[in-house]
């Protein structure tokens, strides 16, 4: 499996998990089935293209800290033979006008400049408003 060589720009913005470092995740039957279905879909991309359909290319992983989201994403990337590029979305948020959008664009630009494909993993820490300083209704926890 080829090693993904991130540019210095990408290294500054992301943590790179190489495919050969992935662990085997323990999955509940529904998650295992969902991963299997998605993998089947990706492997059938050529046949699907003939029908004008593209395989899904995004997924939302949610769950409490330490339940295995990163482990699963890393394993999934490994199954595709790709590195996992992990970006903490908190670091992208900027208080300057348009700053957040520019940071997001910079990530995609840095990935596009890479020679090899990769899987982008956006890690978001959603907090309940009730536990923060802003008060008000609880934010959706996903
Ligand atoms: N389902 C799982 N299968 C195998 N290992 C797991 C699983 N869940 C957690 N682990 C182990 O626990 C450690 C933490 O898991 P991981 O980092 O994947 O959790 P996470 O959901 O991404 O947490 P966070 O929300 O804090 O980012 C991993 O190093 C892994 O070894
Ligand atoms: Mg994680």
- Distance of CA 5 from the midpoint of ligand 1 (Å): 25
Ligand 1 in contact with 90 (CB < 6 A)?
Answer: no
The residues facing 120 across adjacent strands are 85
Ligand 1 in contact with 71 (CB < 6 A)?
Answer: yes
What are the respective helix, strand and coil percentages of the chain, to the nearest 5? 45, 10, 45
Ligand 1 in contact with 22 (CB < 6 A)?
Answer: no
Q: 33 in a domain, yes or no? A: yes
How many structural domains does the chain have?
Answer: 1
The residues facing 17 across adjacent strands are 84
Distance CA(47)–CA(133), nearest Å, equals 52
State the residue range of the domain holding 111: 8-131
- Distance of CA 102 from the midpoint of ligand 2 (Å): 24
Q: 137 in a domain, yes or no? A: no
Q: 27 in a domain, yes or no? A: yes
Q: 62 in a domain, yes or no? A: yes
Q: 117 in a domain, yes or no? A: yes
What is the full per-residue pLDDT of the chain (142 aa) written as tens digits? 779 999 999 999 999 999 999 999 999 999 999 999 999 999 999 999 999 999 999 999 999 999 999 999 999 999 999 999 999 999 999 999 999 999 999 999 999 999 999 999 999 876 654 454 443 444 444 4
């Amino acid at each position: 499996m080829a090693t993904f060589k991130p540019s210095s720009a990408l290294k500054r913005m992301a943590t790179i998990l190489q495919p050969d470092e992935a662990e085997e995740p323990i999955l509940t039957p529904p998650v295992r089935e969902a991963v299997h279905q998605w993998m089947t879909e990706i492997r059938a991309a050529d046949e699907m293209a003939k029908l004008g359909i593209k395989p899904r290319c995004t997924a939302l992983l949610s769950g409490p800290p330490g339940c295995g989201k990163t482990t699963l994403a890393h394993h999934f990337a490994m199954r595709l033979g790709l590195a996992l590029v992990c970006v903490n979305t908190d670091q992208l948020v900027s208080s300057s006008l348009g700053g957040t959008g520019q940071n997001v664009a910079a990530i995609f630009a840095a990935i596009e400049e890479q020679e090899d494909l990769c899987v982008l993993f956006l890690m978001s820490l959603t907090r309940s408003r009730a536990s923060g300083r802003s008060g008000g209704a609880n934010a959706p926890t996903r």
